[in-house]
Each structure stands twice: as C-alpha cells, then as structure tokens.
Amino acid sequence: MSESVLTIDHLTKQFDNSTVLNDLSLQIHEGEVVVIVGPSGCGKSTLLRCINALENIQSGEIRLHGELVTKRSRNLTGIRQKIGMVFQSYELFPHLNVLDNILLAPTKVQKRTKDEVKKEALALLSRVGLAEKAKSFPRQLSGGQKQRVAIVRALCMHPEILLFDEVTAALDPEMVREVLEVILNLADQGRTMIIVTHEMQFARAVADRIIFLDDGDIKEEGTPDQFFDAPKTDRAKKFLQTFTFERKGSKQN
C-alpha cells in the first residue's frame, strides 16, 4: 500500500452538546480518491472542515504527512496551504478578476513570483477551458465557470490533498458535467482527493474507495462496485434507495 497522506485517529467533534463525528478513524493514501457519501446531516462537511483545520475538535487527532492538523497550530497557515479546499459556494473574491483571484494566495502567502504563478495559472485555466476568461470578474461567469476557477485556484497552491465539498450542488444540471469532468481529470493525474458529493454516478466513476458516513462514523467502506452493488448495512441500502425512483401504480386505461 502506498504512503498514508492523511491519518485521522479517533476524531470526535461536537457542536454544543451534540456529537457530530464520533470516534472516527480514517487513512487516505497517496494518489487515492475517496468519496464520502451519507444522509444529510451525517457530518460530511464537518469532517472536511476538521481536516482543513476550520473547526476545533474535542478529541482524537488529524495528521497530514505526520504533521498535526489543528486550528490551534502555530503553523496553521503552513498546514492550510497543503490542503486545497473547494466549496459549494466558490468563495471567489468579487472585486478581483479571475487571474488575480488565483494569484493572490500563491504570491502573498507563498511568496512566489507573480510571473511564475501567472504562467501556471494560465496553463491551468486553459486546461479547464477558461483561457479566455482570465480577465473576467466572477459576476461575469456562469456557476460552472466559477467553480472551475475555484479548482484552478486551489491547484495553484500545490496542495498535497484536495477536498471537494458538494462542489456541484449549487449548479444547474448542464454545468454539473463540466465541473465533474475536471475532477475526473485530476483523478486520472493521480491527485489525492476526498470528495463529498450526492452525485452517485460520478461517485462510482471517480472513487477508488467509497465511505458511507452515518451518525458521525464510518458505517461501511469499499470499492464503488462493492458499495453500490452489494451494500452490507440496512442503512446504506436505504440511503441508496433514496437515489432510485420507481413509478408505482402507473396509469393504465
């Protein structure tokens, strides 16, 4: 088995008195694409936010290549640079054009030269079909285009792992595909990724491993074929049924 990039050990996260992640342990290996699925409110986004040190945790630990990931770390900026997160809501700066949105963190935080990052950014924009949009502002882009910019922005930081939190949830159906294709491409390049999605066909296509989260812990995991064709637990079966539609009592004259 390849090297472990991320190790989560007995993670517990509570909001007030409610336990959202309960003694959860997980390892992500180099080049692995893990898709997390589960019912609404089971803790998927919270898990990604903990991995990106956006949340305080109550117990357990998270390590990225052995380094402790914690909101209280003195090296929080350093850690966050190694973790690229893409959100449902894009989080682009509205007053900056596409290129400046991408250049901001690599030049200000990583102190890389503008010319170097610009070259990389333009090459990546071109790969996601947005070469013409470098000077556009976020308001001039479609949702799918904004999300592709957000992905390029994350990539330009050279993260060791990429986290995707429901990145197509706010998009019109015709824009979903263009974003998912970019992510499939990143999987083909061997990027290490954790993806939270409700797009089950995409999950099946992109994942090396599917994790079924329920009640704040991993209840099932396996290859996409194992999970989708032969779910083991009743909760997973029930969850998967919510994605199938049957027309009962169709009208017949």
Ligand X SMILES: Nc1ncnc2c1ncn2[C@@H]1O[C@H](COP(=O)(O)OP(=O)(O)OP(=O)(O)O)[C@@H](O)[C@H]1O
Contact residues toward ligand X (CB under 6 A) are 15, 20, 38, 40-46
**Minimum distance from CB of 211 to ligand X (Å)?**
12
Asked whether 48 and 194 are in contact (CB, 8 A), the reply is yes
- H-helix or E-strand containing 107? helix 98-108
Measured N-to-C along each axis, helices 143-155 and 114-127 cross at an angle, to the nearest 10 degrees, of 140
Q: Cβ of residue 36: shortest distance to ligand X, in angstroms?
A: 8
Alpha-carbon distances, residue 8 vs 62, 86, 217 (angstroms): 4, 20, 12
* Rounded CA separation 183/206 (Å): 8
Give the dihedral sign, CA 177/182/183/188.
positive
Q: Compute the least distance from the CB of residue 1 to ligand X, in Å.
A: 28
Tell me whether residue 46 or residue 147 sits nearer to ligand X (CB atom): 46
Q: In whole angstroms, how close is the CB of 198 to ligand X at the nearest point?
A: 7
Q: Which pair of tokens denotes residue 70? A: 């914690």
Cβ proximity to ligand X, 20 vs 151, nearer residue: 20
Contact (CB, 8 A) for 10 and 60 = yes
| Nearest residue (CB) to ligand X, 38 versus 106 | 38
> Which residue's CB is nearer to ligand X, number 46 or number 168?
46
Joined together, the tokens standing for residue 128 give 């996601």
CB of 33 to ligand X, least distance (A): 19
